[in-house]
């Protein structure tokens, strides 16, 4: 396989199953390559191992098989080169929003003066609309505001890789939309490499350059890599008007609803192109079916799907 900026190679995770001779294999032979500056989302049903993969990428969990190489070095533990945003905000409750951000920035840039650290941190809090409330403690902020602090903190430390584990999962749809817009803006400015778990198909299409689809566990696999070739900058309002939007959306939803459990379809990964739609341009690789959906043609039989997110 090609070695990208981040290279996940032959990753597997298993646990001993009580009373059984064989281990429970959560996932195996997971191969992912991420380019510098790429925004990759991963989608799959609950329990297939997404958070475990993200934690291995972060250096917080150990795989049973395989490993991760980032920027030419094997990932063997946590590092300031990798920033993580979890679903539950994980702010330090005794510090203000600003102090939560400066804490990480100070660790990252120990030679900076206090004023430099503060100005840099405030810039990121401003990007997420929290400059005026930066003196508040987490208990004085709403859930959405706390998650914005987490995002500002993660971006402010300018890690080489940003790992987001369903960062908006606990937010209401309106707040989520606002923070998604902020994330697009901040990512557009920073060109960070991002690996994000989401259960929201629309969110993945809005944000990602590529969406990885995982089959259900046990023995889950990354079965497909779907390129989201919709033009940027993207906005939630405009993206749904694009003729290719529903083609991509239908493909992802179809995978999650119909195909994620059909293991035989992906077993062996023989490299045979997987054609599920005649308009799909398929570029099969040995490890994973890489798919680019032709979004240039107008979709005449566009289904009247509701815009409600498909949650899995
Ligand atoms: P996801 O994020 O896709 O929902 P996780 O990575 O959190 O999935 O978990 C993957 C699977 O690993 C789950 O099915 C979970 O039950 C299993 N698992 C996690 N920790 C353990 C453990 N200590 N022992 C046995 N199974 C575990
Ligand atoms: Mg998870």
- pLDDT tens across 199-231, in order? 999 999 999 999 999 999 899 999 999 999 999
Q: 11 near 66, Cβ under 8 Å?
A: yes
pLDDT at 105: 97
Ranges of H-type helices in 83-232: 97-108, 114-127, 143-156, 173-190, 201-207
Hey, whose CA ends up nearest to atom 27 of ligand 1?
A: 15
11 phi and psi, to 5 degrees? -75, 135
Ligand at minimal distance from the CA of 24 is: 1
Between residues 127 and 252, the one the model is more confident about:
252
Residue with tokens 């191992």: 49
Residue 173: domain span: 6-81+159-308
Residue 280 lies in a domain: yes
CATH number at residue 16: 3.40.50.300
Instruction: Identify the residue whose tokens are 């403690």.
Output: 137
Is-contact 280 216, C-beta < 8 A? no
Q: Is residue 141 part of a domain?
A: no
- Nearest ligand 1 atom to the CA of 48 is 3
In a domain, 146, yes or no: no
Which residue's CA is the closest to the ligand 1 atom numbered 10?
A: 49
* 196 in any annotated domain: yes
Question: Within a domain: residue 104?
Answer: no
**Domain for residue 106, yes or no?**
no
pLDDT for position 75? 97
Contact 256, 43 (CB under 8 A): yes
Residue 37, domain member (yes or no): yes
Closest ligand (CA of 214): 1
Q: Evaluate if pTM is beyond 0.75.
A: yes
Q: In what order do the strands lie in the sheet with 6-15?
A: 24-34, 6-15, 65-70, 73-74
Residue 301: pLDDT band by 50, 70, 90 thresholds?
very low
Q: Which two structure tokens, joined as six digits, stand for 29?
A: 């032979």
Domain tally for the chain?
Answer: 1
Q: Is residue 24 part of a domain?
A: yes
Q: What is the pLDDT of residues 279-296, one digit of tens each?
A: 444 443 345 778 888 776
- From 13, 16, 24, 47, the mutation candidate for ligand 1 (largest count of ligand atoms within 8 A of CB) is 47
Could you tell which of 26, 46, 167, 219 is best to mutate to test the pocket of ligand 1, judged by most ligand atoms within 8 Å of the CB? 26
């Amino acid at each position: 396989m090609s070695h990208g900026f981040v290279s996940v190679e032959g990753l597997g995770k298993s646990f001993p199953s009580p009373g059984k001779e064989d281990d429970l294999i959560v996932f195996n032979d997971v191969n992912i390559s991420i380019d510098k500056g790429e925004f990759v989302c991963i989608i799959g049903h609950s329990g297939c191992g997404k958070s475990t993969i993200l934690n291995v990428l972060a250096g917080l969990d150990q795989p049973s098989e395989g490993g991760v190489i980032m920027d030419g070095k094997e990932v063997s533990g946590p590092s300031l080169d990798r920033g993580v945003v979890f679903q539950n905000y994980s702010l330090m409750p005794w510090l203000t929003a600003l102090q939560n951000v400066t804490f990480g920035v100070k660790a990252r840039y120990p030679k900076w003066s206090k004023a430099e650290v503060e100005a840099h941190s405030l810039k990121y809090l401003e990007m997420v609309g929290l400059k005026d409330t930066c003196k508040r403690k987490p208990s004085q902020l709403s859930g959405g505001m706390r998650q914005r602090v987490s995002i500002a903190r993660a971006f402010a430390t300018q890690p080489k890789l940003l790992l987001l584990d369903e960062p908006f999962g606990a937010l209401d749809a309106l707040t989520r939309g606002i923070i998604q817009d902020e994330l697009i803006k901040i990512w557009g400015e920073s060109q960070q490499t991002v690996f994000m778990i989401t259960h929201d198909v629309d969110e993945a299409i809005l944000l990602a350059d590529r969406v990885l689809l995982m089959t259900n566990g046990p023995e889950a696999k990354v079965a497909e890599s779907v390129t989201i070739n919709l033009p940027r900058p993207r906005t939630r309002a405009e993206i749904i008007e694009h003729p290719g939007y529903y083609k991509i959306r239908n493909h992802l939803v179809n995978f999650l609803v119909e195909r994620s459990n059909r293991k035989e379809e992906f077993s062996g990964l023989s490299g045979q192109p997987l054609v599920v739609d005649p308009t799909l341009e398929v570029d099969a690789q040995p490890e994973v079916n890489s798919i680019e959906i032709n979004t240039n043609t107008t979709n005449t039989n566009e289904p009247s799907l509701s815009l409600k997110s498909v949650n899995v």
